[in-house]
Amino acid sequence: MWRLALDRRLRDLGISQAGWLSIAYIAKAKTPLSQGELAGLVQVEAATMVSTIDRLEKAGLVQRVVSESDRRVKNLVVTAQGQAIYNKVRAKAEDMRHELLGRLDAEKLKVATDILEELQALIETA
């Protein structure tokens, strides 16, 4: 639900959910991600990720860079234009988070956070 709500707010950027999500993962990564690693994070098939990356690269938002350790692997980096898009996505997400969570009182927010953390732990161990 969160992604859908954010996607509606990001329509003016002219980028799909898969696109902005991919840019966000690439921009936040401590080390360059391979296309396969990004597909796993975005939870799409590798073939789907290739077409998403093709579009992002054509738009000048990301670059494929040959891995220094394995020349068969293409790592992904955001361009300056891609970083600008990521900054806009992050700002809009933060605005939405404040707007939505600001409507909850502290006690309800604490209960919701506790429940979500417990669910996440259960899912990760399932």
pLDDT in tens, 80-110: 999 999 999 999 989 988 888 888 888 988 8
Domain 2-125, CATH 1.10.10.10 — does that match? yes
The domain limits of the chain are 2-125
Q: In what order do the strands lie in the sheet with 62-66?
A: 33-34, 74-78, 62-66
Query: What are the residue ranges of helices labelled H in the chain?
Result: 2-9, 17-28, 35-42, 46-58, 80-101, 106-125
- Which residue do the tokens 């996440």 mark? 120
**Structure tokens that stand for 78 in this block:** 């955001």
Residue with tokens 């988070």: 97
Q: Is the pLDDT of residue 62 over 90?
A: yes
Tens digits of residue pLDDT in 8-35? 888 888 888 889 999 999 999 998 999 9
What integer pLDDT is reported at residue 8 of this predicted model?
Answer: 86
Q: How far is CA 27 from CA 7, 23, 31, 55, 56, in A?
A: 18, 6, 9, 17, 13
pLDDT at 121: 87
Does the pTM surpass 0.75? The reply is yes
